[in-house]
Amino acid sequence: MSVVVLISGRGSNMQALMEAGLPVSAVISNRGNAAGLEIAAKRGVATKTVSHKDYPTREAFDAALAAEIDRHSPKLVALAGFMRILTPAFVSRHAGRLMNIHPSLLPAFPGLDTHERALAAGVKVHGCSVHFVGEQLDHGPIIIQAAVPVRPGDTPDRLAARVLRQEHVVYPRAVRWFLEGRLVIRDGVVNVKGNDAQLVYSDRD
Ligand code: GRF
């Protein structure tokens, strides 16, 4: 019943999953200096670096990553700030058990610099989405979203901090639902057995 978490950096979402008491069995990073690795190791969780720089192609890197994941036979692979685009082969191999958190209300603002782009677009509500990973970048059935207001005078950093606080709320919730076997996908739409709320709204700073 374990979860393998893939990171590239800070690891605050990874930490939120651990603090929620979820069964994280290993953390794998593509960068050896990812701060999250140390946080995980301090908690006694197995860590490993699989550097994309050690492999000539995306396919070779993804195969090495998959082999490392398989050693833990996880029920779920959770991407938490993992900054590599995964190959279709990797995605289909983990279909239905690969989750991501993205800092926007998808399908708006896939890709990078979401907070800057949200401010530039003048949206009044922003947020984050936890979704199953599909073959397209930041695309796939949405499990839960958290919305926050965009305030006059917001900077990308202030907005990012407001969103991140909610990321730490919704990601553990989504992972728990998955492990409890409560997520049902029909026609690309996710429902939660027992009707838990799949939308969080917070105007807290
Ligand atoms: C988060 O904003 C997450 O949504 C995005 O990358 C960031 C990772 O932050 N995919 P952290 O490493 O979890 O602190």
Predicted confidence (pLDDT) per residue in 59-117, tens digit: 999 999 999 999 999 999 999 999 999 999 999 999 999 999 999 999 999 999 999 99
The dihedral through the CA atoms of 173, 181, 80, 15 has a sign that is positive
- Biggest CA–CA distance in the chain, Å, is 48
Cα-to-centroid distance, 12 and ligand 1 (Å): 7
C-beta 99 within 6 A of ligand 1: no
Average pLDDT over residues 36-49: 98
3-state secondary structure of 160: helix
How far is C-alpha 120 from the geometric centre of its chain's CA atoms?
24
Angstrom CA distances, 147 to 2, 70, 92, 123, 175, stand at: 29, 35, 30, 12, 19
Which class in CATH covers the domain with range 1-94? alpha beta
pLDDT of residue 80: 98
pLDDT of residue 16: 98
Average pLDDT over residues 24-40: 98
pLDDT of residue 137: 85
pLDDT of residue 11: 98
Q: In the chain, what are the domain boundaries?
A: 1-94, 101-205
Q: Are 86 and 132 in contact (CB under 8 A)?
A: no
- Nearest Cα to Cα of residue 107 among 148, 78, 136: 136
The string of pLDDT tens digits covering residues 143-193 is 999 999 999 999 999 999 999 999 999 999 999 999 999 999 999 999 999
Q: Which of 160-175 are b and which e, b meaning 16 or more Cβ less than 10 Å from the residue's Cβ?
A: bebbbbbbbebbbbbb
Cα separation of 64 and 12, whole Å?
Answer: 25
pLDDT of residue 193: 97
How far is C-alpha 24 from the geometric centre of its chain's CA atoms?
14
pLDDT of residue 130: 98
Above 90 in pLDDT, residue 196?
no
Cα separation of 128 and 146, whole Å?
Answer: 5
- Mutation probe of ligand 1 site: the residue of 7, 8, 12 with most atoms within 8 A of C-beta: 12
pLDDT of residue 57: 98
Provide the mean pLDDT of the chain: 97
pLDDT of residue 205: 79
On the question of a common fold for 1-94 and 101-205, the answer reads: yes
- The token duo for 183 is 């997520």
Atom of ligand 1 nearest to the CA of 101: 4
Average pLDDT over residues 46-62: 98
The answer as to CATH 3.40.50.170 being correct for domain 101-205 is yes
Tokens 């949200």, located at residue: 118
Backbone angles phi, psi at 49, to 5 degrees: -105, 130
pLDDT of residue 195: 78
- Nearest Cα to Cα of residue 98 among 75, 81, 127, 68: 75
Above 80 in pLDDT, residue 1?
no
Catalytic residue list: 102
Atom of ligand 1 nearest to the CA of 9: 12
Cα separation of 112 and 73, whole Å?
Answer: 31
C-beta 127 within 6 A of ligand 1: no
Task: For residue 13, list its beta bridge partners.
Answer: none
Secondary structure tally for the chain: helices H, strands E: 6, 10
Average pLDDT over residues 5-20: 98
